[in-house]
Structure formats: structure tokens, C-alpha cells
Chain A
Amino acid sequence: MSPALRERLVAVAVRVAGVSTIAFILVIFFFLIQQGLPALVEVPLSDLLARRWYPIEGVFGLLPLVLGSLLVTLGATVIAVPLGLLTAVYIAEVAPRPVREVLKPFIEVLAGLPSVMLGFLGIVALAPELYHRLNLSTGLTAFTGALLLGWIAIPTIVSVAEDALDAVPRAYRDGALALGANHWQTIWRVTLPAARGGVLTAVMLGIGRAFGETMAVMMVTGNAAVMPLGLGSLFQPVRTMTATIAAEMGEVAGGSLHYHVLFLVGILLFLISLAVNLVGASVVFRARTRAERILS
């Protein structure tokens, strides 16, 4: 095989791989649209914006589901982002080498834990504990879900953020230290801002992981489709969009109204994660241009 031919083959293979990935996403998207849009025609918009979800009687208010997902994800973000970033900073910048070499792979193993196992832990240990400690009426609440989701998102955040911090050139730190900055000032003012793009990617991936998580959430949030209004609802049961699809898709008759509405919920999930990613990407992009300006 001549080198030129090999070159062409590799180029074709790479192109096919790239194009097929995009094609798969497009196919999924069109399928979602095709199965979900009929719901917008069949169910009046005012019904979709109602505050009650009881599909077996044809009551399809999506608001409690959307707000439920947002509440649980927000709770998980508040828990996971600071903890995850601090852990990443500790591993990348503070921990001595041997500690680091143990911690990093350990956290990556945690990232691979099946969520159903965490959900089970949530049911048998976390929920009863919260019920007794916080004197709640039930342990199956949005907060329980947020704690578990935070736990699920932290390894992702730590792993990606640590890689980003690790990639910051040694010269940056040496320069800061040489200018008289102490260790903390170097981390906070130099290393973290330099790794900003990667750190934001880590946060976005973590939020995405929490938002899309299904099994653990379905097991511990109680799945009651109440409208979560106010902070108090953090300690009440909620029903998320993902849990709704997982719980109901198995039994629904193909082509029925309920079936189309579940696909509409899928479209909403898709759009919300897309929005989160776009916001993240634009922030990263802005950060990069500023860094380039400083360096030039």
C-alpha cells in the first residue's frame, strides 16, 4: 500500500467517524421532534402549562416536572461545584505526590459507580438518616436527590478540573512565586484563572451529569409531582423529568397521547441541556479571548 493511499484511507475514516457522530445526533433529534411535536398539536398549550401531572387521566401539566428537575439539579450544583473544585485544587496543587497518586485514580473509580447502587444506598441509608436528623415528614425529598446527585457529579468535576489545572504550565506558577505571591495567591490569582476553560467544562459536565441522571433520582425523590415553589420545597418530594420518562415509558401504548407527551418531555430535557452547554461554551470562549489579550 502506497503512503498516499494510506493517507487517503485514514482521511476518509476520520471523516466518516466525524460525520456519523453528527448524523447520529441529528437522527436522534429528528426522532425526538417527530415523536414529540404531535403532543403540542394534540394537547392545548394551557394544559401543558398546568400544575398537575396525572397522565393516566390525560392530565399533562409539565411545570411540576420541569421545576422539579431544575430544583434537584440546582441543589446538586450548589453541593458539587464548590466541593469538586476545592478537591481538584487540593489534588493538583496542594497534595504531596504520593497522596495525589492515590486520590486521582480513586476518584476516577468513583465516577464509574453505577447510579442504581447509589440510589439503593440512598433508600436504605440516606433517606432514613435525613428523616431522623432533620425531622422531616419523609426522607424521600428533593434534598435527598440533590445530595446523591452532588455525590454523582463530584467525581466528574474533580477529574476534569484536575486535568485542566495540571495542564497549566509550570512557568506560570514559578513566575507568580518569583514575584512574591504566596501559595494561596498563586492558586487563586494565577493557576485557576489560567485553567478557567477546563474548569468551566468540568462544571458544565457535572451539571449535565446531575440533570440527566435518572435511576438514583427516581429512587430517592419520592416522585410526587408537586409544584416546587420556594426553598421549603427542597425538603418535599419532587418528580423530575428523567424519572417520569423512565417510570412511564415502559407501559405506555405506542403512538398514544401520553407517548407523545413523554417524547415532548425528552425534547425539553434536550433543549435545557443544550442551553446550559451554550451558556457554558460562551463563557469559556469569552475567558479564552481575555486570556489571549493578556498574553499578547
Chain B
Amino acid sequence: MRRAAPLLPISLTAFVVLFAFGCTPDSSPGAAPPERAIVNKGSDTMVNLALAWAEAYQQVEPAVDVSVTGGGSGTGIAALINGTVDLANASRQIKPEEIEEARGNGIEPVEIVVARDAIAVIVHRDNPVDHLTLEQLSVIYSGAINNWAEVGGADRTIVRLSRETNSGTHVYFLEEVLRLGDPDNRTLFATDTLLLPSSEGIAAEIAYNENAIGYDGLGYVTDDMKVIAVGQDAAGPFFLPSVETVNRGVYPIARDLYIYSPGEPSSQARDYLAWILGPLGQELVASLGFVPLEPTS
């Protein structure tokens, strides 16, 4: 319960006030949510997708209102633990300690994979480099090499761009690329890695800077940047991120996107999830640059 109150008590009075404030909304996690409203919150990577789903579902089921907010995967899962959402979006899997915390509040998180996302590695459109291995990406981002010539490019300094540390994409890239998926690897981003607060910031820098290398969700790639083909090792093969390569499981930097429900979803949330997993929902996944799940029909 302490987690629900963001402030340490200043005095007993303040504590009582905060405690009451922090607990009122989730005092009845088992109770049915207000009729015909689905509260959906979480991952910023998924927020545009979630909004598109909510909007399109309005046409299908006008009586059901889905309210969507972002804030990040961590924020969504925290809300799930506190029982203040019906569905939490997350671009990473829920951590064991978060499951424990939820159980402590009498909530059993249910996981549903709703789409896939690939992280594209991008460079300036005039950069001659067109493919890199995971290993090369790891040494570039950890600062072990600093010149494009060392990976077959021009004699230019490498300027590393990354999302801010609070982004799920940052953590995913750190674990899967810098540390090559090895949980014992403690490699960090080079200190001079530029941490940009938005996808737009990365796109703007890639657009003019021939030294830059960046990464972002496939949905954020535009025509004025060059996408790098990525391979497991130097022998290849190298793959560009696409719906096809991600679903075949050959593009190495791809992940699942999740929706978590606190316990079994209510009937209206269940209908909504079924619609998301159906052809209409998955069509929207594709149109927003994410990767739809294998066709179900």
C-alpha cells in the first residue's frame, strides 16, 4: 500500500490524508469497473496504436468508451498493480517483482501479446554503411569504436543517439543489443551517447548529421533516413526490419508488445481484446508501422 502514496509522511496528519487519498481508488480491486468505460494506460511506444484501436472500436461498439493515456510501460504496470486501469499497455514483459507486488494487492496480471515491434537502426541517408552485426552495434554503442571507418564506412566520428533512459526502447536496446541478451553483461552506453527525449529529436538529428547512428521503433522510421540491415554475425545473413522478417523471426531486434489485464478481463474488455487480435485490430497495427501478429484467419 505504501507504493500508492508517492510522498513520505511529513506528520501523522499528512500521512493519514495521503493514505486515504492513495487508497480510495483501489480499495475494491475486485469490483466491476464502471459500465461501458475501459481505462487503458501505459507504454508510450504503444500510445498511438492504442489510440487508433480505441478510436476505431468506437465505430464498432459505440456504447463502449476506451480512454487511453501514455506515460510509459512502467507507469501502466504501476497503475495495474494499484488497480486503477482495466488494461495496461507494455512494450516489455512484466517483471517478476511487479507480479509479486500485484499479488500483494490481490491482483493476478493476465498477459496478452497484441502486436510485435521491431527496432530499426537508422543512419543519415548518405552514410555508405548498409549492414552491421549485433556485435558491431554493441561495440559502437558502448564506445569501444568511435569511427565509421572501423565498420566499413567513411572516416567520420560516430555520434551515438539514443532515447532517454526512461523509455522502454532504451532498456530493450541496452539488454538485447549492447549486452547481446546476456544478463551477466554489465556493458553501458558510452557516456557521450546523446539521450534525446523524443523520436522526433532522433529523426531531426539523423536528417542532417552524417555522423549519427540512432535507433527507434520501426513505426517511427521515415523516408529521409537510411535503415541498416542487421545480422547475428559477420557471416550474415543480414535482414532489414519488416513485417515479413519480424514474423519469420529472422530480424534480430524485435519484441512483443503486451496488454496486461488485472485478473481475467471483464466481458467488455474481453470483447475489445478479441477485436484487437482480429483482422481489423491487426490491420491498424500494420498501418501504424508496427508488426501484426501472424494472420489468425
Interface residues of A (CB under 8 A from B): 30, 34-35, 38, 52, 54-57, 59, 64, 123-124, 127-128, 131-132, 137-140, 218-219, 222-226, 236-237, 239, 247-248, 250-255
Task: Please tell me if the beta carbons of B8 and A34 are within 8 angstroms of each other in the complex.
Answer: yes
Whether B2 pairs with A138 at a CB distance below 8 angstroms is no
Pick the contact of A226: B5, B165, B191 (CB < 8 A).
B191
**Residues A138 and B6 in contact, CB atoms below 8 Å apart:** no
Residues of B within 8 A of A (CB): 2-3, 5-8, 10, 71-72, 74-75, 78, 157, 159, 164-166, 171, 186, 188-189, 191-197, 200-201, 204-205, 208-209, 211-212
- Neighbouring A residues of B74 by C-beta, 8 Å: 251, 253
Instruction: Determine whether the beta carbon of B195 is less than 8 Å from that of A137.
Output: no
Which of A222, A248, A254 interacts with B3 by CB under 8 Å?
A254
Q: Which residue of A lies closest to B195 (CB)?
A: A223
A255 near B8 with CB under 8 A, answer yes
**Do B8 and A140 touch (CB < 8 A)?**
no
Q: Within the complex, which residue of B6, B7, B208 is in contact with A131, where a contact is CB–CB below 8 Å?
A: B208
Residue on A with the closest CB to B210? A131
Chain B: minimal CB distance from A127 (Å): 7
Contact between B208 and A239 (Cβ–Cβ < 8 Å)?
no
Q: Are A56 and B3 in contact (CB under 8 A)?
A: no
Name the distance in Å between A55's Cβ and chain B's nearest Cβ: 6
Q: Chain B residues near A236 (CB, 8 Å)?
A: 192
Q: Let me know if B208 and A123 touch, CB within 8 A.
A: no
Known: A219-B197, A255-B6. A56 touches B165 (CB 8 A): yes
Bound state CA distance, A224 and B6, in angstroms? Answer: 29
* Cβ-defined contact, B204 with A123, below 8 A: yes
Q: Which residue of A lies closest to B203 (CB)?
A: A123
* CB-CB under 8 A for A251 and B195, given A137-B157, A138-B211, A139-B209: no
Contacts of A139 in B (CB 8 A): 205, 208-209
Choose from B5, B75, B164 the contact partner of A247 (Cβ within 8 Å). B164
Residue of A nearest to B204 (CB): A123
* Complexed CA–CA distance, A127 and B196 (Å): 14
Quote the shortest CB–CB distance from A230 to chain B (angstroms): 15
In the bound complex, how far is the Cα of B78 from the Cα of A239, in angstroms? 28
Q: Nearest Cβ in chain A — how far from B211, in angstroms?
A: 5
Decide: A57 near B192, CB < 8 A? Known: A128-B208, A137-B159, A255-B8.
no
**CB <8 Å contact, B197 and A138:** no
9 cross-chain pairs, A with B, having the tightest CB-CB distances, nearest first: A254-B6, A251-B166, A128-B208, A222-B194, A223-B195, A137-B157, A138-B159, A251-B72, A224-B192
Q: Is the CB of A223 within 8 A of B208?
A: no
Q: Which of B71, B188, B211 sits near A250, CB closer than 8 Å? A: B71
Q: Which B residue's beta carbon lies closest to that of A132? A: B208
Q: State whether B209 touches A138 (Cβ < 8 A).
A: yes
> Considering the chains assembled together, what is the distance between the CA atoms of A218 and B3 in angstroms?
29
* Chain A residues positioned under 8 Å from B205 (CB to CB): 123, 127, 138-140
